[in-house]
Amino acid sequence: MTNQGSPLRDAFLSALVALGLFAPMVGLQTHVGAHGIALVPRPLAVASLVGAVFVLRLAIRLWQGRRPAAGMSMMAGAAAGRIALAAGRARRFLVPALLALALLMPVVASRSTLDLGVLVLTYVMLGWGLNIVVGLAGLLDLGYVAFYAVGAYSYALIAQATGLGFWSCLPAAGALAALWGITLGFPVLRLRGDYLAIVTLAFGEIIRIVLLNWVSLTGGPNGISGIPRPTLFGLRFTMTDEPGTFAGFFHLAPSSAHRLVFLYYVILALALLTNWVTLRLRRQPLGRVWEALREDEIACRSLGINITTTKLTAFAVGACFGGFAGAFFATRQGFISPESFTFMESATVLAIVVLGGMGSQLGVVLAALVMIGGPEMFRALADYRMLIFGLALVVMMVLRPRGLVTERKPSVSLGGAARAIPAALIAEGRS
């Protein structure tokens, strides 16, 4: 950003681009009148926006001109670096604080906030599951939603066919998802980077389209309804207090909040299980080899590591947790249809992993809060909330292209505290 002609000319060009963008987007408003929809021009709004862009651009250029050595992006980068450093110091308190908050949520939060919490935790769990595949093993998977769908439909179909409850079906849902992970893994293992991404993307779509068209099994677009809700050691959550229900057993007034709180703790426990297994695996040979695979596949082969089985295990473990999350989704909703398992879901979960910082468990939590909680929080801003959200993501990618939490903690050390490894050295698995 050094050689762009005079600041005035630059500001004028920016204003011109703004005019081109805002004239159709902001300048025309549809208005429902007596004779159908009419277009109402809003020249004043456009003019003020274009003027703001002109002034802002001019100000930035003049400010840059005053300090030629330190450009805007460098200053911002340094600021981001300081933030990261502070975050590193705060990490020790951040994790217990977040955990305590998560545990106390049902006590302090309102119903709608708790509902949002369940949603965020579902995505945290999906993010942690995908983090195994993308963040640790470095295999770019754009079809993670397929395993989510397999888990949800497995639970729904098994429960309908056998009458078993959520807890009996959960392992089966995870196992079936893992099986599909291996099934997908076999043919695509020789692919890398972009090619792998394309095949996994296609796999996600195939699963969705099969669910949509296999009407006799899945109900097609009508989905499956009446999926059994989860029970607490056999106690059902209903609006009555007859024997065998939660309210009846504990002599409480029946309330729909009980089930919500229970669902919240179920997904919290499932998510923490995912996290625990991942953290344990990272310190085991298997997890270490996943990371080695991300760093250098050819070196792994020269060390006698079977790349095929290593990739398969990463796919299977990641898929298994996706399946658990899917089963939970099915039991929470009570109804599933292929519409819930579109590519958008895969993209959201991948965005959470990338925004969080690939391979970082804490990053996934922060990113899920931002990505899922953010748009909900700003509902008051109506139409502008997605615009602001998109802008925030772009700013993020400029300031911290490697995600929120970028460094990597060594899995083992020779005495003393393990020092974090800076992001610049870590491969992203696109070799």
Partner 1 sequence: MATATAALLDVRHLGMRFGGIVALDDVSFTARRGEITAVIGPNGAGKTTAFNCITGFYRPSAGGLHLTHADGRGFALAAMPGHLIARRARVARTFQNIRLFAGMTALENLLVAQHAPLMAATGLGVLAILGLGRYRAAERRAIDKARMWLERIDLLARADDPAGALPYGAQRRLEIARAMCLDPVLLCLDEPAAGLNPRETAALDALLLGIRDQGCSILLIEHDMGMVMRISDHIVVLDHGRKIGDGTPAEIRADPHVIAAYLGEDDESADALARAAAP
- The residues that touch partner 1, with contacts defined as CB under 8 A, are 277, 280-281, 284-286, 288-289, 291-292, 295-296, 298-307, 313, 408, 410-414, 416, 418-419, 421-422, 425-427
CA distance 169 to 158: 7
Interatomic CA distance for residues 140 and 134, integer angstroms:
5
Q: What per-residue string of b and e applies to 195-219 under the rule 16 or more CB within 10 Å gives b? A: ebbebbbebbbebbeebbeeeeebb
Give the nearest distance from C-beta 99 to partner 1 in angstroms. Answer: 21
C-beta closer to partner 1: residue 39 or 412: 412
Give 112's contacts (C-beta < 8 A, 6+ positions apart): none
- The helix-helix angle for 72-108 and 111-131 (nearest 10°) equals 120
Closest CA to 386 of 400, 56, 394: 394
Smallest gap from residue 294 Cβ to partner 1 (A): 8
Compare residues 321 and 341 and give the one whose CB is closer to partner 1: 321
- 117 vs 356, beta carbon nearer partner 1: 356
- Residue 185 C-beta: closest distance to partner 1, Å: 16
Please, what is the minimum distance in Å from the beta carbon of residue 160 to partner 1?
Answer: 31
Judged by beta carbon, residue 21 or residue 277, the one nearer partner 1 is: 277
Minimal distance, residue 413 CB to partner 1, in Å: 5
Which residue lies nearer to partner 1 by CB, 143 or 357? Answer: 357
Please state the closest distance from residue 419 (CB atom) to partner 1, in A: 6
Between 293 and 372, name the residue whose CB sits nearer to partner 1: 293
